[in-house]
Structure 1
Amino acid sequence: MQRNLLEELKRVLAEDKRLVIDDKLVKNKIVELGLKLDEKLLNLLLSNDRLREHFFQKVNDTFVFDTQKFQRFISNKQFLPDSYTVFKNKIGLSNGDEYLSDSKDVTLAWAYKDCVLEGGQTEEEAKREEIFWNETLAPDQIDRLLDPKVFTNFTFFDNDGEQDVNEITEKNNLVIKGNNLLALHSLRKSYTGKVKLIYIDPPYNTRGAANTFAYNNTFNHSSWLTFMKNRLEVAKHLLRENGIFAVSIDHAELFYLGVMLDEIYGRENRMGVAAVVHNPGGRQDDNFFPTAHENMLFYAKDINRAELNTLGMSEEKLAEFRYKDEYGRYKLRGFRRSGSNSKKEERPGLYYPLYYNPDSQRLKIKKEKDNDIEILPIDTNGIERCWRWGPETLIKKKDKYIEVKKTGDSFSIYIKERESDYEGEKPKTIWDKSKYSGQTGTHELKSLFDDKVFSYPKSPHLIADVLKITTDVGDLVLDFFGGSGTTGSVAHKMGRQYIICEQMDYVESVTLKRLNKAIEGDETGISDDYDWKGGGSFIFTEMQKFNEQFINLIQNADTQEELLNIWNKMTENAFLSYRIDTTDFDDRADEFQKLSLDDQKKILLEILDKNQLYVNYSEMDNNDFEVSESDKQLNHQFYNISG
């Protein structure tokens, strides 16, 4: 019995393992590869006589793929139907015979590279389905989505506690609660070209317990890259011309993130990749190589303008300076050169005799007394070499920097390399201080909160070294994955200005409290290293929600009765998609109630106008949004920061 065309197409497509997950065809992937004219997919379709005849046109001796016909066929509700799509098609989310995904006046919002993923998670453990991201938005609508937003709930924190905010200047430290993509676009107006360092520790898209992509653990690889790309592109505009971008990442997305950053910053602006040993014992639940390190990628906005400071003295390096005199600690280095370019014939100006008097312990360049002993730069093999300094430099520095020691029957000359003159170590590609471990970060939070309030916090000592090599006192640091506030806390103690963005609800229970403890002068973290005594201030604010509040209600609903109540509130107060006829929806209430709870949520989420998730600054005077006069004044100040 011959299969119908639909069955034949499904059978053939199932031969391509890229199109199958859990033994089911993935419609979105089929659409993606069809639009890309994927060679393997086209060859698969061409190999079947019926499919070739239906989806290709023969021009002379060449078969031309009818993309439009294929997409229309794939988008038909009979292809991989479910109760959700059937109901959606009935209530007006299609336009005649053409589905929204086929409409030529819209583009996919995020699913692939040229799209936008807002990522609206607010609770770390919720791992909700971000249905919005599968919808389509027109380019002008995307511009509107990314317009600067209204900020509200301004609060000033210092040693006197919480206070009202009367003024915002470019010198304020800021903590912003809200979606970081929209926050970054809001920061562009006032902070373009002002940030010295962007450091982020984004959610990792790895497998198992180490996955910190808590927005939705079902996001796939391409979605994670799009999520990151949207944010990295706008963040680059905020960097100064000599600014530096740094990101921590594990192995799962390392290669792909690196290629993406090469594209955004230019491969020539890649400064380096450091391996940070955060778990010296290795993660023993790994199947093959126990993971002992993460990676940190450094990029310059302009490699010709970027500079790195040196690190301070490590404990190992400090131990080398084991001698001490009236000038301080020092270590010894031979005054006679060795190795390449050290022979007399190569540097004749540095070959000369020195004279040492053992009684007076004086070193001279001329013999003055009979018991002055001549010392020449000749090694134990009799090879004539040379000194490190010329005679004039030696006379100038010898009292503070030269030491003579007796070795057997002869005397050797040494340079005193002083700790006070040491500028510090250049950061290497392996960072392996014991204080960099993840346990150090967890220990600090436990000491502050008497509990484990955050998963996988970064060590404050690691962040301190990142800030030390990339910034100076007073520089502006941005972290738009603020997390538990490690970057903000360290920047606060090191005298850097900072902007922290975090959309999770723990920003108020963890991040703000941690920064307040820094103001109070807590004795944890890097306090001992930087002699922190407390002080300073910051301003907290959040983006004013509109439709986003309904998304949160929908996602948190547990019953169908709750969803119907939310629907009634939406019809009264929310901005709904212009493609939705509420009367049509109400007429089909019985069908709606037959859907699963998850499918009901999908429907209500699609009905909301996603360009009204937050209140736009340009629409702040609209009475529907109920923005207070004090908030209007502070928003005007924020968006008119100059300098």
Structure 2
Amino acid sequence: MDLNNPHTKFFKELAHCLAPLDQQLVNANNYVQRSVVIDRIQTNDQEVIKAIIHNDYLRKNFTSDVNGTLVFNSAEFITALRQREYSYDGETRYRNFIGLTIDRRPIDDYAQENVELDFPYKDTVLKAGMSTTDVKHSNEPYLNKIIAKDEIIALTEPKAFCNTKQYGDIDPQQPNLLIKGNNLIALNSLASRYTNKIKLIYMDVPYYFKENKETDTFAYNSNFKLSTWLTFMENRLQAAFELLQDDGSIWIHVGEDGMHYLKVLCDQIFGVDRFVGTLPRKTRSGKSDVPFNFSQDFDWILVYTKTTNSDTAIVGRRVNRKYYETPDFPGRKWRTADLSKQTTTAERPNSDFTMVNPKTGKKYPVNPNRSWAVTKDTFQEYYDAGGIGFPDDYDFMKGEKPFRRVFKDEDDKKKKSSVASDLLLKDFIKTLMNNAKTTKKDEFVKKQEFNYAKPEELMKAIISVTTDEGDLVMDCFSGSGTTAAVAHKMNRHYIAVEQIDNQLKLSEQRLINIINGQDKGGITKEVGWKQGGGFIYTELANKRTKLIDQVNVANSVDDVWKLIRNLKANDYQLNIQLSNLYQNNELVDLAAVKQAVVDILEPTQLYVQAANVNDPDEEIAPVDRQFTHDFYAGKELKINE
């Protein structure tokens, strides 16, 4: 039987009724030409449709009576035509398939199509401010990519900087940055300068909770509904991913309730072949008063990379080894390694020989159970290159076996040692399992009553296995600045983005203390940090703060309305709200008008476009105008007061 045109009753009846019409519909072998029939039906060929519905069998299965009118179910009929083994003869319409379908076709038939996780508001942008005033503003506007295209373009265009200042000594080519602003807007502003340049991105994202939490790092955002939270994350993950260099990695810290949803979303954004692994972090000791009598004491870190080459060393450890420096190899430090293999001499007969030290003549018999790693023929080659040494060559050397000599410059060229995901990796996993909770070492953070800071030990463990000195690290949910603090002490460059004022002040002072040598907590002693370095503090220029200040000092209702009329805001939602308020003639009390306007302005993100940095109306200081120009031109960043 021809599987492309099976002789089921359906096709027999169809061939019977269409054959008299046209040989293009049914060929000489009485096979239905499916594509031709489908095309005729989709173009409403009355002759073909009339022939079909006059066939008793086809009329019974593909028409409906709607108030006395016969309606042809063309979509269902086309689906039947497309099925290879579709039949109305048996108990089921499908001979071989039972399972998930799309338009009644098994998913197997969609070999070239994608089946993906979908959720409400998927194709939107969510600004999602995270200032302390946002707690009372729960109706975050969604910007649909079609109907709000202009708003989204304005939102994601590069922004001007303001209030820029420098602390300590910076590297003008790659200065450390502490940026105040909405992280979605900041990520898009960073793109022109930092695309494909960041080695490590760490994101301690606002957790999604099935139940509302009264207190958490982000009182507003942590209580997002699931679809909102996924949209919030999608927007930021897509923007951050563009900044990551090919052999870099992104580490996303997430709670139990949202972890599996986020994993599927990340697979969709980054691709499943870029998934590196999942790591648990122990957050507390077990509790007894818990649902189902099961204490969930972990949160999770999802790790992805930008490359699809699994041979790339995304993570790795530098092993501390003991090296010797001897007169026979001046300027080349070396270490010892095993010169035998886990194979017997019977298995490797070419390695079954007594090794003789060319300098002293001392003989070293082979161990029959562990043959030499070199053969009789290759011994001299390795020895002449310095690759084989003997214990009787050096007074300080212990042992009774020849050794393989490995030079330090050879080690330096090799990729880092692998990072195991189990308990055999003592330092890294020990940190995740035992030392990753906030401890008394983080005294500066604890004094500021910031209860949710990740400990410096955790960030040291992550930065150690993902970066080298001089690499660039970014944290766009910076919080109290732990990532920046650890990166500074470990001689990495960093970018930290935060919006909440009290957390920014905490981060700023924390970094100042590190520069001045006043920070004694965290990993300071462990890494031997003293003092030095520097960073640039800057803000995305925001018109909202100035406008709110102007509203609060207005002397009359007319002055408030004048401010609103003069406001240039590419924000549809804001303009509608202010317009509606302006039309409300019942508001005549000055205090009530001010409060109503401020309530509308507080959750907005009225940032100044970088293209308008020279506009006098934007009131950007000369130092900030120069910084903005240099930033987007890729020039050295110097703060000239």
**What range describes the TM-score normalised by the shorter chain of this pair?**
0.5 to 0.7
Partner of 2:184: 181
- The RMSD of aligned alpha carbons is 4.8
Cα offsets for 1:54-106 (capped at 9, x unmatched): xxxx9926699xxxxxxxxxxxxxxxxxxxxxxxxxxxxxxxxxxxxxxxxxx
Distance 2:558 2:225 in 1: 33
In structure 2, the partner of 1:203 is 206
The Cα offsets for residues 219-257 of structure 1, whole Å up to 9 and x where unpaired, read as: 111111111111111112212233222222232222221
Q: In structure 2, what is the equivalent of residue 634 of structure 1?
A: 627
Aligned position for 2:286 = 282
Identity %: 29
Are the equivalent residues in 2 in contact too, given 1:155–1:540 (CA < 8 A)? yes
Letter of the aligned partner of 2:430 in structure 1? K
Q: Provide the residue aligned with 2:63 in structure 1.
A: none
CA distance in 2, matches of 1:63, 1:211: 55
> 1: CA distance between counterparts of 2:227 and 2:256?
16
Q: Verify the 8 A CA contact 1:118 1:181 in the aligned structure 2.
A: yes
Contact 2:436–2:457 under 8 Å retained in 1 = no
Q: Alignment partner for residue 121 of structure 2, among 112, 137, 158? A: 112
Instruction: Tell me how far 1:259 sits from its aligned partner.
Output: 1.8
- Aligned-partner Cα distance in 1 for 2:449–2:361: 64
Residues in 1 aligned to 2:171 and 2:451: alpha-carbon distance in whole angstroms: 33
Q: Any conservation in 2 of the 1:200–1:480 contact (CA below 8 Å)? A: yes
Counterpart Cα distance in 2 of 1:434 and 1:168: 31
* 1:240 aligned partner, one-letter code: Q
Q: Which has the larger radius of gyration?
A: 2
Which residue is equivalent to 1:143? 153
1:429 and 2:428 aligned: no
Q: Match for 1:537: what amino acid?
A: G
Deviation at 1:506, TM superposition (A): 2.0
TM-score, normalization by structure 2: 0.64
Structure 1 portions without partners, runs of 5+: 1-57, 65-109, 160-166, 366-374, 380-384, 406-412
Give the aligned partner of residue 620 of structure 1.
613
Distance 1:563 1:62 in 2: 67
Whether the 8 Å contact between 1:274 and 1:428 is mirrored in structure 2 is no
**How many angstroms apart in 2 are the aligned matches of 1:464 and 1:120?**
29
Aligned-partner Cα distance in 1 for 2:600–2:446: 42
Name which of 489, 495, 503 aligns with 1:493: 489
The answer as to whether partners of 1:403 and 1:414 remain within 8 angstroms in 2 is no
Q: Which deviations, in whole Å up to 9, do the C-alpha atoms of 1:266-286 show, x marking residues without a partner?
A: 21122222233344x335554
The 2-side partners of 1:440 and 1:262 are apart by 28
Report the Cα distance in structure 2 between the residues aligned to 1:608 and 1:133, rounded to whole angstroms.
Answer: 13
2:34 equivalent in structure 1: none
Deviates more, 1:144-153 or 1:191-200: 191-200
Could you say which residue in structure 2 is the equivalent of 1:236?
241
TM-score scaled to structure 1, two decimals? 0.64
What is the distance in 2 between the residues matched to 1:582 and 1:257?
38
Instruction: Name the counterpart of 2:479.
Output: 483
- After TM superposition, the structure 1 = structure 2 runs for residues 582-601 of structure 1, keeping only pairs within 5 Å, are 585-589=583-587
User: Which amino acid in structure 1 is aligned with residue 543 of structure 2?
Assistant: F
2:345 aligns with 344
Q: Find the partner of 1:444 among 441, 455, 473.
A: 441
CA distance in 2, matches of 1:306, 1:201: 25
Q: 1:311 aligns with which of 308, 312, 317?
A: 317
Cα distance in 2 for residues equivalent to 1:60 and 1:591: 64
Cα separation, 2, equivalents of 1:470 and 1:244? 7
SS at match of 1:127: helix
Residue 526 of structure 1: aligned partner:
523
Kindly tell me: are residues 418 and 452 of structure 1, through their superposed partners in 2, closer, same or farther at Cα, counting changes over 3 Å?
farther
Q: 1:325 to 1:178 in 2, by over 3 A?
A: closer
Instruction: Name the aligned partner's letter for residue 128 of structure 1.
Output: K
Give secondary structure in 1 for the equivalent of 2:221. coil
Matched, 1:466 2:476: no
Partner residue, 1:253: 258
Q: Which residue of 2 aligns with 1:9?
A: none
- The alpha carbon displacement at 1:156 in A equals 0.6
Query: Is contact 1:403–1:415 with CA below 8 Å preserved after alignment?
Result: no
In the alignment, the residues of structure 2 paired with residue 126 and residue 438 of structure 1 have an alpha-carbon distance, to the nearest angstrom, of 33
**Structure 2 residues without counterparts, runs of 5 or longer:** 1-68, 76-118, 328-332, 423-427, 637-641
Distance in 1, matches of 2:504 and 2:558, equals 29
| Equivalent of residue 271 in structure 2, options 258, 266, 274 | 266
Going from structure 1 to structure 2, the CA distance change for 1:489 and 1:569 (only over 3 Å counts) comes to: farther
Q: Give the superposition deviation at 1:330.
A: 9.8
Q: Is the 8 A contact 1:197 1:476 kept in 2?
A: yes
Check conservation: 1:277, 1:432, Cα contact below 8 A: no
Q: Which residue of 1 aligns with 2:95?
A: none
Q: 2:532 aligns with which of 520, 535, 545?
A: 535
Q: Does 1:300 align with 2:305?
A: yes
Separation (CA, whole Å) in 1 of partners of 2:528 and 2:286: 33
CA contact (8 A) 2:335 2:405 kept: yes
Whole-Å Cα distance in 1 between the matches of residues 434 and 450 of structure 2? 15
Whether 1:377 aligns to 2:367 is: yes
The 2-side partners of 1:462 and 1:210 are apart by 23
Deviations 1:509-548 (A, max 9, x none): 3101111121123332222332212100100011121236
Task: Give the distance between the partners of 2:547 and 2:74, measured in 1 at CA.
Answer: 49
Counterparts in 2 of 1:495 and 1:135: CA distance versus 1, 3 Å: closer
Paired residues of 1:168 and 1:637 also in contact (CA < 8 A): no
8 Å CA contact retained: 2:282, 2:437: no
The answer to whether the 8 A contact 1:111-1:117 is kept is no
Amino acid at match of 1:153: N
CA distance in 2, matches of 1:221, 1:236: 22
Letter in 2 for 1:641: G
Q: CA deviation at 1:459?
A: 2.2
Which among 543, 546, 567 is matched to residue 543 of structure 2?
Answer: 546
Amino acid in structure 2 at the alignment position of 1:116: V
* CA distance in structure 1 between the aligned counterparts of 2:142 and 2:558, rounded to whole angstroms: 25
Give SS of 1:226's match.
Answer: helix
Give the deviation of 1:437 after TM superposition: 4.6
8 Å Cα contact 1:403/1:416 also seen in 2: no
Kindly provide the amino acid, as one letter, of the partner of residue 454 in structure 2. Answer: K
Pairing of 1:120-131 with structure 2 (within 5 A) = 120-123=129-132, 127-131=135-139
Aligned match of 2:564? 571
* Native 8 Å contact 1:158 1:519 kept in 2: yes
In 2, distance between residues paired with 1:215 and 1:562?
Answer: 33
Instruction: Sort the Cα spacing of 1:580 and 1:473 in 2 relative to 1 into closer, same or farther, 3 A.
Output: closer
Using the alignment, how far apart are the partners of 2:231 and 2:629 within structure 1? Answer: 32
The whole-number CA distance in structure 2 between the counterparts of 1:270 and 1:517 is 37
Return 612-621 or 259-268, whichever deviates more: 612-621
Decide whether the 8 Å contact of 1:201 with 1:481 is kept in 2.
yes
d(CA) in 2 for partners of 1:354, 1:592: 98
Alpha-carbon distance in structure 2 between the residues aligned to 1:297 and 1:189: 27
Aligned length, in residue pairs: 486
Please report how far the alpha carbon of residue 389 of structure 1 lies from its aligned counterpart in structure 2 after TM superposition.
4.7
Residues 203 and 214 of structure 1 are in contact (CA less than 8 Å); yes or no, is this contact kept in structure 2?
no
Q: Which moved more, 1:417-426 or 1:226-235?
A: 417-426
Distance 1:148 1:168, change over 3 A: farther
